[in-house]
Structure 1
Amino acid sequence: MDFVKIFFIFSYLCYTLTAGHNEVEKYTAGIENFPSQVIVEIDRKPVCGGAIIGDNWILTAKSCIQNVTDVSKVKIRAGTSELGIGGAFHYVSKVVVYNFTSSFFTKDDADIGLIKVKSPFLYSSGVQWSAPAVDYLEEGSNIVIAGWGIRKSSSQRFLQQAKVKVISRDECQEKFEDKLNITTIMSCLVPLTSDDNACIGDVGSPVSVSGLTSAIVSNNQYCWDNQYPLVVTNIGNIGFFIAINLSEPFLRNEFSNILN
């Protein structure tokens, strides 16, 4: 192979690698911009996202933890933008899944769970808690979400961000047709521009508005498979579930006294 051919091949490879790197860089997010966001690992594998909502508490999706039988296999990685690397590990003492039915939605619709870690989080620029919001996501509003796009087949190495828009439940239901029932506790997110990828939102990851955790990603498989909207669970109507658990044992005892 002569020098000219080698030169062109080398130039092409450099261009390809640089272009790919720039494309990733364009959407890469620093954990300092999403400091409440954590990675839920089971058996040393990243499986879901989560949000720090208290010194020892993580809010995530019920579907991430409902089959956990041994909490020693669950760990939380906080304070890192890199999937599976860096940050601080936190061992888990318990998991709690939402298991109530209301007049507005069933327990299956509310894909919400809590994880309690043994040692409190050490707050820093990349580790912060985010209080749960009381309001639902507003239809038509624009939001920035983040995630690693955790999937069985592939994931992004670095935390990614995307601009998304909240669409109405009716519009979302039309897109899903009969594949998924969009209930009142759910909201749907679509890319704001053709360059944004709403599917990077990991199951269990937070959707934050004005510094408050408003919703949790509950279903992203349809999004990855067929580019359907990203489905999230609003937490506005389940604040009591969060409050009872975060305030244990005092508030739990108070509720018991009232009921008795």
Structure 2
Amino acid sequence: VCGKPWWSDVGRHWPWEVSLRVKHEHVCGGALIDPGWVMTAAHCIQGTKEYSVMLGTSKLQPVDFTGVLLIPVRDIILHPKYWGRTFIMGDVALLQLHIPATLSEYVQPICLPEPNFHLRVGTQCWVTGWGQIKQRFSANSTLTPELQEAEVFIMDNKRCDRIYHKKSLFPRIIPLVLEDMICATNYGENLCYGDSGGPLACEVEGKWILAGVLSWEKACAKAQNPGVYIRVTKYSKWIKKQLDRALSGPRASTWLLLLSRLLQ
């Protein structure tokens, strides 16, 4: 059963929202996709640091820990196509939690889309996160104490690619926005929300699905830039395979993690 956002006196709760942390400091966003697993961006993972996740709260530094979960990460699986920040391909990481999250109204997984699911251009979706709030004319970015949300709309990849080509030296023939990416825009609002690794969530036929994972953090530098996310449908089969494999026995992914660090 997948979660859905719900309202309370303090605002809207996004029960799959994760704060990925190192030494209690927020480093990236993420989404709970199963009681024992979180999905984030591969570029969020650096070296063999001790990661943990915080779930069940919209506050970055909660004072009241009712419903809040803090769980260490047991294992990290990076997508084999990920070759580091220079070539943002396969920018997907799965985090296996030390113990499965106890589900409650504050903690619920988001559904993964089927591999053949097609997200139409113009679909309304939501981006959530604590980070990278930038004013249009300012380079400063700060973390906000309270989870932010922004309504965005799915944009055509070709149009998105044209926008980024205007700002780059790459020839038009080399696509910047690849097939495994998805773009979303809020049509030039002054604020740009979202965390690297954070979710792009869309309600489709009454079900909330994880359509994307924020990949291009620098896209936030100008508010009129579309956000570029990893297109989850392109990785649904791989994700399912990893989760099934984990159920059938432990795996050693640490060497893959170390190898990817050496190749960066």
TM over 0.5, yes or no? Answer: yes
Aligned counterpart, 2:52: 75
CA distance in 2, matches of 1:154, 1:250: 39
Which one of 59, 62, 65 corresponds to residue 42 of structure 2? 62
| Residue 53 of structure 1: how far off its partner (Å) | 0.7
More helix by percentage: 1
Cα deviations by residue, 1:51-80 (Å, 9 ceiling, x for unpaired): 111111001101111x2313xx20100001
Please give the residue correspondences for 1:230-245 in structure 2 after superposition, counting only pairs within 5 Å. Answer: 230-245=227-242
Q: Which runs of 4+ in 1 moved over 6 A?
A: none
- TM-aligned CA distance change 1:29 to 1:232, over 3 Å: farther
CA contact 1:244–1:251 (8 Å) conserved in 2: no
Aligned counterpart, 2:146: 158
Percent identity for Structure 1 against Structure 2: 23
Aligned counterpart, 1:113: 93
> Secondary structure of the residue that 2:102 maps to in structure 1?
coil
Please give the residue correspondences for 1:141-220 in structure 2 after superposition, counting only pairs within 5 Å. Answer: 141-150=123-132, 153-177=141-165, 179=168, 181-192=176-187, 194=189, 197=191, 199-210=192-203, 211-220=208-217
Cα deviations by residue, 1:88-133 (Å, 9 ceiling, x for unpaired): 10011111111138xxxxx842211100111111111110011211
CA contact 1:163–1:193 (8 Å) conserved in 2: no
CA contact 1:47–1:150 (8 Å) conserved in 2: no
The residue type paired with residue 56 of structure 2 is: G
CA contact 1:145–1:201 (8 Å) conserved in 2: yes
> Secondary structure of the residue that 1:173 maps to in structure 2?
helix
CA distance in 2, matches of 1:237, 1:56: 22
Aligned counterpart, 1:39: 19
Is 1:93 equivalent to 2:86 in the alignment? Answer: no
- TM-aligned CA distance change 1:224 to 1:170, over 3 Å: same
Cα deviations by residue, 1:19-69 (Å, 9 ceiling, x for unpaired): xxxxxxxxx8532xx11111001232101111111111001101111x231
Q: TM-score, normalised by structure 1?
A: 0.74
In structure 1, list runs of 5 or more residues that go unmatched.
Answer: 1-27, 102-106, 254-260
CA distance in 2, matches of 1:234, 1:149: 21
CA contact 1:163–1:192 (8 Å) conserved in 2: no
CA distance in 1, matches of 2:246, 2:143: 39
Cα deviations by residue, 1:169-189 (Å, 9 ceiling, x for unpaired): 111112111638111111111
CA distance in 2, matches of 1:59, 1:127: 15
- TM-aligned CA distance change 1:143 to 1:127, over 3 Å: same
CA contact 2:131–2:141 (8 Å) conserved in 1: no
Cα deviations by residue, 1:179-229 (Å, 9 ceiling, x for unpaired): 38111111111115736x3x2111111112221112111113222356421
CA distance in 1, matches of 2:163, 2:201: 24
CA contact 1:245–1:252 (8 Å) conserved in 2: no
CA RMSD, Structure 1 to Structure 2 (Å): 2.5
- TM-aligned CA distance change 1:59 to 1:182, over 3 Å: same
In structure 2, list runs of 5 or more residues that go unmatched.
Answer: 1-9, 134-139, 169-174, 251-264
Is 1:138 equivalent to 2:120 in the alignment? Answer: yes
